[in-house]
Amino acid sequence: MNPYLELQQTLTRRHFFQRCQIGLAGAALSGLAGPGLLEAEEDSVSNPLAPKPPHLAAKAKAVIYLHMAGSPSTLDLFDYKPELKKFDGQDCPQDLLEGKRFAFIKGVPKLLGSPFEFKQHGQAGTWMSEILPHLATVADDIAVVRSMKTDHFNHAPAQLFMHTGNSRLGYGSIGSWVTYGLGTENQDLPGFVVLASGGRIPSAGKSVWGSGFLPSVYQGVQCRTQGDPVLYLSDPTGISRSMRRRTLDGLRDMNELQEKKFGDPETLARISQYELAYRMQISVPEVMDISKEPDATHTLYGTEPGKVSFANNCLLARRLIESGVRYVQLFHWGWDHHGSLLREDIRYELPKRAKEVDRPMSALVKDLKQRGLLDETLIVWGGEFGRTPMRENRGGKYGDYIGRDHHPHAFSMWMAGGGIKPGLNYGATDEIGYYAVENPVHVHDLQATILHQLGLDAERLTYLFQGLDQRLIGPAEGPKVVEGLIA
């Protein structure tokens, strides 16, 4: 199978040419009656984003992935380590340092116990620190994975690895794998939407929602909560809505004349894309407008319409999923608490960031649950790696502030919904949280599990590129679905 050829053929073959003429009638009608059956028919033939059946029975239809860019210290959020507290301030044992590379730690650093109090929550007895009071209230709805590990300890490569399965640039992101594998349900919205907050995008740039060697139609579309939600979505200055309709009618008539002359099916494909653009101009601002949500919802999430915030993005994620978007990727920047500056001090800054996300992400779980959407929506939360149980000593010495260095060997993430066991604590680290020792979950395993819940088999999800039927998850052996996480 050559999917590139297949894609081209769906866009060009005679087969489509015939269908599209029906579709055009539909497009002309849609101005009156909205998208209808005729278009669904057209889309299934012409549109690379048309819904496709999964490889396996799917538990989840959609994913909301909450990425905490910069990587929070999960030793201060989830991974309760009384032993680490006991040895706080003592030298890190030599055997944990030998042969290891760190981003900033030099020589022998001291162990660092968490400055925060931990308690168990819910029936599951899930340990969480005091700075996640809202998440504690949904402890029985989520599964905390306490034994994550990755291969990379610098931000950009680790973020790429988390989202593309590869630490180098040029590979598609998991959102693009999913829209490639499953298409999307609402053709008037992008299938893969990205929302960023916290002031910056991830270190690895837009490649973390790119499509790599997959066609660009599968890449994430960044929606913004200020300005045009999608670039060039608004009619330009001087063009009214009615004028836009007139121009599209004129454009369609002219293109049809040209199609008669050249007989090129690409022309018809272009006409239908212009009609879709017109529908997106209405549907995207509608779904992105949270101002009409009831007060109770705003209170639940802590949303303020018009602002750029993680809370607004969580509510938007729910609205997007509800409207049939397949994959929503949130990035919240600002978790890189090294402790070399006041604004990186884990004691003051981690609680601030935690406060920004705690209420909204818990609200998202509650809201999806009460709407009956949690079963079919998979939520994933986490950073790109962990942070050291040792206190960072930048330049080999300690200053006034406290923080932790990058750490690939152990960290926690949480998942909810989409067929993941609720109220679960999966895996464990050693006594000081240095290594994932019980049921370690590698990044590729996490990715394979996300795909599995969506009904996709990581081994079979391939694309012909550079002469190879390449597995999108990467060529490494053995990504395993984590059966223990599945309900």
Partner 1 sequence: MVAAFTREAPPAPESEGVGESEAAETGTEAEEQAEPPLTYEEAVVQLLNSPRYGERWADMWLDLARYADSKGYEQDGLRTMWPYRDWVIRALNANMPYDRFTVLQLAGDLQPVPTKEQLIATGFHRNTMTNTEAGTDDEEFRDLAVKDRVATTGQVWMGLTFGCAQCHNHKYDPIPQKEFYQLYAFFNQTEDHDQFDDRPTLDLGEDVTALIMRDLVGDERRATNIHERGSFLSKGAEVQPAVLTAFHAAPKAAPPNRLGLAKWIVDKGNPLTARVMVNRLWAKLFGVGLVETEEDFGAQGTPPTHPELLDWLATEFMRLDWDIKAILQTMVTSATYRQASEVTAELADRDPQNRLLARGPRVRLEAGMVRDQALAISGLLSEKMYGPPVMPWQPDGIWQMVNDTLTRWETSAGEDRYRRGLYTLWRRSAPYPSMIAYDAPSREVCTVRRIRTNTPLQALASLNDPVFMEAAQHLALRTLEEAGPATAERARHALQTTLIRPPSDEEVERIVSLHAEAKAELANDSRRARQLLNYDDTLYEEGRLTTLVEDSRGAGAQWRYTTKEPPGNWAHADLDDSEWRTGSGTFGYIEDQKGSNKDIEVVSDWDTEGIWMRIEFDVPPEGLMDYKFEMRYQCAFDAFVNGVPAAHPPQQYDTHTEFPLYTDAVAAIKPGKNVVAVYASRNREKNRGQHIDVGLKALRQPYLGRPTEHDADRAAWVVAANVLLNLDETLTKR
282 binds partner 1 (CB under 8 A): no
Minimal distance, residue 304 CB to partner 1, in Å: 11
- Look up residue 248 and give its two tokens: 């599209």
* Residue closest to 81 by CA, chosen among 468, 340, 387: 387
Does residue 246 interact with partner 1 by CB under 8 A? Answer: yes
- For residues 392 and 366, what is the distance between their CA atoms, to the nearest angstrom? 37
Instruction: Among 28, 257, 282, 487, indicate the residue that binds partner 1 (CB under 8 A).
Output: 257
Interface with partner 1, residue 330, by CB under 8 A: no
Instruction: Read off the DSSP letter of residue 92.
Output: P
DSSP strands (E only) in 334-391: 377-382, 386-391
Q: Which stretch binds partner 1 (CB under 8 A): 26-34, 178-186, 265-273, 426-434?
A: 265-273
Kindly identify the residues of this chain, within the stretch 47-86, that bind partner 1 according to CB under 8 A.
48
How many Cα atoms are found within 13 Å in the side-chain-facing hemisphere of 190?
26
Write each residue from 344 to 383 as x if it is in contact with partner 1 (CB under 8 A), else as -, in one continuous string.
----------------------------------------
The dihedral formed by the CA atoms of 256, 258, 263 and 269, expressed in degrees to the nearest 10: -50
| 20-28, 82-90, 212-220, 380-388 -> range binding partner 1 (CB under 8 A) | 212-220
| Nearer residue to partner 1 within complex by CB, 53 or 263 | 263
Handedness of CA 411, 415, 420, 422 (dihedral sign): positive
- Provide the b/e sequence for 286-325 (b: ≥16 CB within 10 Å): ebbebeebeeebbebbbbeeeeebbbbbbbbbbbbbbbbb
In the bound state with partner 1, the residue whose beta carbon lies nearer, of 4 and 435, is 4
225 and 316 Cβ atoms separated by less than 8 Å: yes
28 vs 239, beta carbon nearer partner 1 = 239
Whether 359 contacts 59, CB under 8 Å: no
Candidates 27-35, 115-123, 139-147, 463-471; binding stretch for partner 1 (CB under 8 A) = 463-471
247 near partner 1, rule: CB under 8 A: yes
Size of the site for partner 1 (CB under 8 A): 87
Smallest distance, partner 1 to C-beta of residue 86, A: 29
Q: Looking at residues 412 to 451 of the shown chain, list those that interact with partner 1 (rule: CB under 8 A).
A: none
Residue with tokens 């915030």, as numbered in its chain: 309
Binding flag, residue 342, partner 1 (CB under 8 A):
yes
* Footprint (CB under 8 A) of partner 1, residues 389-408: 406
Please report whether residue 293 would count as binding partner 1 according to CB under 8 A. Answer: no
Q: Is 438 helix (H, G, I), strand (E, B) or coil?
A: strand
- Piece of 33-41, 134-142, 354-362, 461-469 that binds partner 1 (CB under 8 A): 461-469
203 binds partner 1 (CB under 8 A): yes
Tokens of 2: 């050559």
| Residue from the set 25, 28, 243, 437 that interacts with partner 1 by CB under 8 A | 243
Smallest distance, Å, CB 477 to partner 1? 10
Q: Which of 9, 120, 299, 370 touches partner 1 by CB under 8 A?
A: 9
- Residue 229 structure tokens: 């939600």
Residue 234 beta carbon to partner 1: minimum distance, rounded to whole angstroms: 7
Query: What's the token pair of residue 455?
Result: 């009904």
Q: For 70-215, list the strands marked E by DSSP.
A: 118-121, 126-129, 142-149, 192-197
The structure tokens listed for 309 are: 């915030």
Q: Is 274 in the site for partner 1 (CB under 8 A)?
A: yes
Chain residues 123-182 in contact with partner 1, contact rule CB under 8 A = 154-156, 168-170
Closer by beta carbon to partner 1, 245 or else 480: 245
Local structure of 104: helix, strand or coil? coil
Q: Is 204 in the site for partner 1 (CB under 8 A)?
A: yes
Smallest distance, partner 1 to C-beta of residue 146, A = 26
DSSP code of 169? S
User: Which candidate, 263, 267, 274, 311, places its Cα nearest to that of 290?
Assistant: 311
Helix, strand, coil percent values for the chain (each to nearest 5): 40, 20, 40
Q: Taking contact as CB under 8 A, which single stretch among the options 220-228, 295-303, 321-329, 357-365 is the one that binds partner 1? A: 220-228
Q: Which of 25, 28, 239, 282 binds partner 1 (CB under 8 A)?
A: 239
Among 94, 467, 478, 483, which residue interacts with partner 1 (rule: CB under 8 A)?
467
If one asks whether residue 306 binds partner 1 (CB under 8 A), the answer comes out as: yes
Tokens read off for 243 = 């004028």
Q: How far apart are CA 183 and CA 51, in angstroms?
A: 4
CB of 19 to partner 1, least distance (A): 13
Task: Tell me phi and psi for residue 416, to 5 degrees.
Answer: -155, 155
